[in-house]
Amino acid sequence: MSRNAVEETDWPSFDRFLETLPALYPALHETLDVERHGYSLLYRWRGREQGAPTVLMAHYDVVPATDEGWTHPPFSAEVTGSGEHRLLWGRGAIDDKGAVVAILEAVEALVREGFQPAADVYLSLGHDEETVGSGAQAVAAALAGRGIRPALVLDEGGAVVERIFPGVTAPIAVVGVSEKGITSVRLSVEQDGGHASTPPAMTATVRLARAITRLNARPFPARLSETNLRMVETLGAHATGPLRTVFTRARRLQPVLRAVFGRLSDETRAIVRTTTAVTQLRGSMAANALPETAEAIVNTRIAVGSSVAETLDHLRRAIRDDAVRVEAVDASEPSPVSPSDGPHWDRLAAAIGEVHPRAIVTPYIMLGASDSRHFTGICEAVYRFTPFELSASQRGALHARDEHIHVATWFRGIDVYTHLLRAS
């Protein structure tokens, strides 16, 4: 039981992608230095003068998909509709090939017009974010080994969204200043097997099921981190109706807000607590045999302010059964929190504002995990923001069927990267 299997990667498709890039972006490849770290790419766009560089990140690998259930085949890149209603369909349109190509398009156009950034700009394009993230780790290690400390790192994350916060009707640009830790926790029960015709009162699978039920009945406590409070205060200032009073007094009304967030939606519940989801189960190899080992994988997303150790302790106390072994697999702690003010935040917010002048730019804690977490050791301003407007249905299609993006939205994403690069 593991994340997406590396051994199932379609490496010939990766080869074709890397071979095609120089033809698609000739000016970029004539001007920027490029090096490979496995299948990951690191481009260096040399600046006019010395200074801390900017790193733009994205990954071009995607989660698996078959044609089954898709309106348009996932790897056909079909475009439908017209005008503002043109849609691009395909796996990776949002996560995260759309950002990869938007970055390349922005750089290609700037190089062609003769623009050169003030300080160096690096483009880090990962190849295995959806599996193990070794490419991004290698790139971060290479930069660290050269003594390079970027001023700003921007990777995938939040987006421009609407109607996700009660009482706020304006578009909201949610910029991740940190991200939850992600740890797979294995629950396992080992006991004697035997023939299924004479089962004991408590089989390994029953004991495991009881552990899962107990865990589900005891969620982690809700907390409002400093970033949560900053987000509520920022958005609350734009709310209408009685909720404005609550949100603008967030620090004094934290118990009320924790209760509100816990009831609004799955997303808001995840914002204020560590979450658990049982994603994989394994028992007997035969229908008529009692399992000698029963296992479950619990995907945990650890809230900022907590830790892997605290999470494991909570799980053990919730399960209350020493016969159930609880162990962390592929553990990672929550990321450090980047500043939501100051020159680097202001630079990103200004680039967003140039393209989305009505948008409220707010910090938030990213609920998923990204390659950017590997860069927090060399940069204090690591942000997670994908510069696209995404509807609820589009966000729901991530890692699911019918992933798609508006073509006009993608063009506006290029513009955000362009403004950010011009200010580098």
Residues forming the active site: 61, 129
Q: Which two tokens stand for residue 125?
A: 């394009």
CA distances from 278 to 187, 275, 326, 331 (A): 10, 10, 13, 16
Contact between 154 and 56 (Cβ < 8 Å): yes
Residue 218: half-sphere exposure toward Cβ, Cα within 13 Å: 15
Q: Which two tokens stand for residue 85?
A: 């209603």
**How far is residue 160's CA from residue 361's CA, in Å, rounded to a whole number?**
9
* Distance, C-alpha 222 to centroid of its chain: 21
Across 127-219, the runs of DSSP E, i.e. the strands, are: 152-161, 172-179, 181-190, 194-195
Residue the block writes with tokens 């780790």:
137
Which residues, in sequence order, are CB contacts of 140 under 8 Å at separation 6+? 374, 375, 377, 378
**How far is residue 272's CA from residue 409's CA, in Å, rounded to a whole number?**
30
